[in-house]
Amino acid sequence: MYKMVYLQRALDDLEEIHFYVANVADIDQQDAQELTDGILHALSNLETFPFIGSSVADRLDIRGDYRVIITKPYLIFYRVITTQVTIYRVLHSKRYYSALLDL
Question: What domains are defined for the chain?
Answer: 3-95 (3.30.2310.20)
Amino acid 93: pLDDT: 85
**Considering the entire predicted model, what is its pTM?**
0.88
Torsions phi, psi of 46, nearest 5? -65, -25
pLDDT tens for 28-86 read: 888 888 888 999 999 999 999 999 999 887 666 666 788 999 998 999 999 999 999 99
Amino acid 31: pLDDT: 83
DSSP state of 25: S
Amino acid 103: pLDDT: 55
Q: Which residue(s) pair with 80 in the sheet?
A: 85
**Pair 68, 56: CB distance under 8 Å:** yes
Amino acid 23: pLDDT: 85
**Pair 42, 76: CB distance under 8 Å:** yes
Instruction: Name residue 36's amino acid.
Output: T
